Copies of this chain bind each other. A is one copy, B any other.
């Protein structure tokens, strides 16, 4: 029978075992030079091309409130088509903060987005997963909870994001509430908020008020929301109404043209970047119409389309080249920017998945992206494969942090 000293020793060891210290790596601060294919003159040309698109072709805002806002702001509105004087765009984007401090529930996990910082955010939006019995099935809220827990525990992941998998066992009407609660409950890292409608975005903001306090969130960014564009040159009502809610509450949106290069953009790289840049600028400018000085993130989702079959392709080198160029444009405008990493066209966790993921990842790091979001959501790959990709790639990011410090 153990004596009392032994019992005390055991109790101490047991208590130690139960205290799991969740460590998060700091943001990746890049100390290696970025890959910048454009010189200063080419950046000016690209800027000029994008502002000419905004002036001459314009962008459609499929939303009566946004059209009213643009009229008031001095843009030319014709039907749903808005044309912008280049001076107006330049003036509006000036007030976007160059860097954003995102506040996490655990203040030690708060993050800087901007400058030479990169943060890593899990993939989201998978409608299927492959479980540990290797069975492909619809995900549930319990599965999502597990992914949120994993996000919380992985040191190189800086966010629990939102619907890493779609919890199909809950009705769409209140799914966004379940998702947001799961992000908040299972991790004290930063997270993303659902932007699937203006109303849903309002619910997210209400939940953030409960978690952080109403006054706090009005001056402190705590949640990011993604706003996808309907490229070419269209922003729709769903996204614009969610953008308004986030920006009005001082929460940053990712203004993300959704690019299927060659299908909804020109076939070659340079004009595609001009179009994406015009689209991103028009949404970034709109955040400042809603609230001058609100944080906002230059975004995009980049895929390409096979010129032979028309099939969407991820992990192609054109995507990397676009990332290099878009990074230069975002830095030119002094706005933090978001990209996606570990993109791949494979539907299983095989060598193709590995090398495409790594190629994209390396390019995104060298392009200087600040907010490095998920794997191939547009491709709707099976979640587990993507997750493993991300995980493995991020081990590299961890090493990278170590060696970049030297």
Q: Give chain A's interface residues, CB within 8 Å of chain B.
A: 31-33, 35-37, 268-270, 316-318, 321, 324, 349-359, 361-363, 366, 388-389, 392-393, 396, 399-400, 403, 406
Q: Are A403 and B317 in contact (CB under 8 A)?
A: yes
Residue of B nearest to A321 (CB): B403
10 example contacts (A-B, Cβ-Cβ < 8 A) are as follows A32-B37, A33-B36, A317-B399, A317-B403, A321-B403, A353-B354, A354-B354, A355-B389, A355-B393, A355-B396
Most chain B beta carbons < 10 A, residue from A270, A350, A403: A403
Distance to closest chain B CB from A314 (angstroms): 14
Known: A32-B35, A351-B389, A352-B392. A403 touches B358 (CB 8 A): no
Known: A37-B32, A406-B270. A362 touches B354 (CB 8 A): no
Docked CA distance A35–B33 (Å): 6
Residue of B nearest to A350 (CB): B351
Known: A268-B406, A270-B406. A351 touches B388 (CB 8 A): yes
Chain B residues with Cβ below 8 Å from A354 are: 350-358
Known: A32-B324, A358-B356, A366-B35. A403 touches B318 (CB 8 A): yes
- Other A-B pairs beyond A317-B403, A318-B399, A318-B403, 6, CB < 8 Å: A32-B35, A32-B324, A317-B400, A352-B392, A354-B354, A357-B358
Distance to closest chain B CB from A36 (angstroms): 6
Number of copies: 2
Chain B residues with Cβ below 8 Å from A352 are: 354, 392
Residue of B nearest to A270 (CB): B406
Q: Are B358 and A362 in contact (CB under 8 A)?
A: yes
Residue of B nearest to A316 (CB): B399
Q: Are B396 and A359 in contact (CB under 8 A)?
A: yes
Q: Are B355 and A403 in contact (CB under 8 A)?
A: no
Q: Are A355 and B32 in contact (CB under 8 A)?
A: no
Chain B residues with Cβ below 8 Å from A31 are: 37
Docked CA distance A318–B31 (Å): 14
Distance to closest chain B CB from A355 (angstroms): 4
Docked CA distance A76–B323 (Å): 54
Distance to closest chain B CB from A133 (angstroms): 20
Chain B residues with Cβ below 8 Å from A389 are: 351, 355
Chain B residues with Cβ below 8 Å from A37 are: 31-33
